[in-house]
Amino acid sequence: MRSFFSALLLLLLSVSFSFSQSTAKLYINASDPRVTISRHIYGHFSEHLGRCIYDGFWVGENSSIPNKGRIRLDIVEALKKIKIPNLRWPGGCFADEYHWRDGIGPRKQRPTMINTNWGNVTEDNSFGTHEFLELCDMLGCEPYITGNVGSGTVSEMNNWVEYLNFDGQSPLTTLRKENGRNKPWNVSFWGVGNESWGCGGNMTPEYYVNEYKRYATFAKNYPNARLKKIACGASDGDYNWTDVLMKNVGTRMWGLSLHYYTVPKSWSDKGSATSFDEKEYFTTMKKCLFMDELVTRHGTIMDKYDPDKRVAMVVDEWGIWTNVEPDSNPAFLYQQNSLRDALVAGTTLNIFNNHADRVRMANLAQTVNVLQSLVLTQGNKMLLTPTYHVFDLYKVHQDAKLLPLQLNVPDYQYGDQKMPAVNASASVDSTGAIHISLVNLDAAHTIPVTTTISGSNWHTVEGQVLTAAKFTDINTFDQPGNIRPVPFSHARKEGDQLVANLPPLSVVVLTLK
């Protein structure tokens, strides 16, 4: 008899353990939200690289594609829909070989240059300062300009700031008016160089500190245009770079950048954007989750010198980087965009949201036809990628208040490796609506999530889900709607709790009112 009860107890424990390992529990504190999720976390990046600007935003002079002053209108409307808050330009590595005066004035008189970073193609400078800022005006977003520290001069950057932001009389403001712009643009976000540890000059952090101070000193504030200067920060886990910058620059910068790319395999063979197995998918998502450790550890160093968190962490290059598409120019970094990319985007944005006390700006690389794009174009055709749809779903978090959460989730296991199967973030907007974004990384299992919310008396739930049958699924120009958000009907209120069943490989956003 004893052996029977022992066996029964073991069976019950086994069932209980199995149940606990296949379900997730989420606890959200809505009692006293204080931290704002800055809308600038949802920023984007457009470099003079491949077909991002030319044959992306910027169409031919006599193009039949609907445009305004050569700026492609279907892309503009798509980006306005997701409330793009800022756009970084002109690079990237290109920024440190770009001389802004070459891109102003009558287009036929602008000198050409060679884009040595991205394929040695000829840059005709037809898309320059005025064109970029007209694009930002059309998008209703803030420009984020990266100045040339690598091959430029202090005077060059100082003059660019004056050309854009001074409203008085000077030779530069006269030149601006002659070029068609009477009033200043009042650009506040300025990057002082890009990747100065690499393509921006191969500098040591100690050397860059002095360069930053010199350039930043002469980048002047003007009335209605107080600069938010962003120093070049670390690549990946270079924690020493962050320490040196925080120790020697500290709060004399508005923000400090961080760059990290999710590379599925290795830098020598990054892996295909569309052809990969579960092992490679698993490895990719585990590398994506490493962003949380990077933000935490760099943030801890920043806290040591800046406990009040006055300096923003600016993750102004992030995303998945794969091999280019077959038969495309290897220097143009054109890659397709699968459901895996959407899961990378949703997971990364959840990480940024949950670190919103320090991460106050970020820029996905890049907006059109380059790396993890929002938009792909082919002649007059345009498609919205799975990544675009994540930004559309997550726009509810922009400038909402972060709701702290605790998450107890099962593991997603592959071989002897494992990682959390579910990640999430939550916020409350100005109307009192609560938004919860959840990502199920598990490739095979639906995961029930039971959520307890303290400090909120909610009554209804509705949601949307982005998913597909396979992590390799993509949108194509012939079938642009393969992967798109659809209404989510597997969430309900049970007593005081929210219960949702997350499909495998899914991004779900719920709204509680």
Q: Which residues are catalytic?
A: 195, 317
Instruction: Give the closest residue to 274 by CA, choosing from 319, 326, 330.
Output: 326
- Cα separation, 510 vs 512, whole angstroms: 7
Residue 424, phi then psi, degrees to nearest 5: -160, 160
**Contact criterion met (CB below 8 Å) for 426 and 475:** no
- DSSP per-residue codes, 481-500: TSS--EE---EEEETTEEEE
Tokens 């008085």: give the residue: 168
Helix (H, G, I), strand (E, B) or coil at 314: strand
Closest C-alpha among 436, 357, 397 to residue 26: 436
User: What DSSP letter does each residue of 395-442 carry, written as one string?
Assistant: GGGTTPEE--EEEE-PEEEETTEEEESEEEEEEE-TTS-EEEEEEE--
Q: What are the residues facing 89 on neighbouring strands?
A: 145
Q: What is the 3-state secondary structure (H, E, C) of 259-307?
A: EEEECCCCCCCCCCCCCCCHHHHHHHHHHHHHHHHHHHHHHHHHHHHCC
In the chain, how many H helices and how many E strands? Answer: 10, 27
> Crossing angle for the helix pair 339-354 and 278-305, nearest 10 degrees?
20
Residues in the chain, total: 513
The residues, ordered by sequence, that sit 6+ positions from 407 with a Cβ below 8 Å of its Cβ are 24, 25, 26, 27, 420, 422, 423, 424
DSSP 63-123: -SS-EETTEEHHHHHHHHHTT--EEEES-SGGGGG--GGGGSS-GGGSPPEEETTTTSEEE
258 within 8 A of 295, measured Cβ to Cβ: yes
